Amino acid sequence: MSNSPIILAVDTKEISVANSLIESTKDYIGVYKLGLEFFFANGRSGVQEIQTRHPGARIFLDLKLHDIPNTVAKAAKSLETLSVEFLTVHAAGGSAMIEGAAKALPKTKIVAVTVLTSLDSAELAKLGLGSNVEKTVVNWAQSAIQSGAKAIVASPLEVSALRNALPSEIELITPGIRFESGKDDQARTMSPAEAIAAGADYLVVGRPISGAPNPGQAAQEIFKSVTK
Question: Taking a C-beta distance cutoff of 8 angstroms, is the pair 148, 175 a contact?
Answer: no
End-to-end CA distance of the chain: 16
Strand partners, 59: 32
Q: Residue 176 is which amino acid? A: G
The Cα angle at residue 94 between residues 203 and 34, in degrees rounded to 5: 35
Among the options 13, 26, 33, 64, which is catalytic? 64
How crowded is the C-beta side of 125, counted as CA atoms within 13 Å?
A: 5
Cα–Cα distance measured from residue 94 to residue 102, given in angstroms and rounded to the nearest whole number: 13
Q: Please state at what angle helix 95-104 crosses helix 69-77, rounded to 10 degrees.
A: 20
**Known catalytic residue at 64:** yes
51-54 contacts: CB < 8 A, separation 24 or more?
51/82, 51/83, 53/19, 53/22, 54/19, 54/22, 54/23, 54/26
**92 to 25, 66, 89, 155, 222: CA distances (angstroms):** 33, 8, 9, 15, 31
- The residues assigned a catalytic role are 64
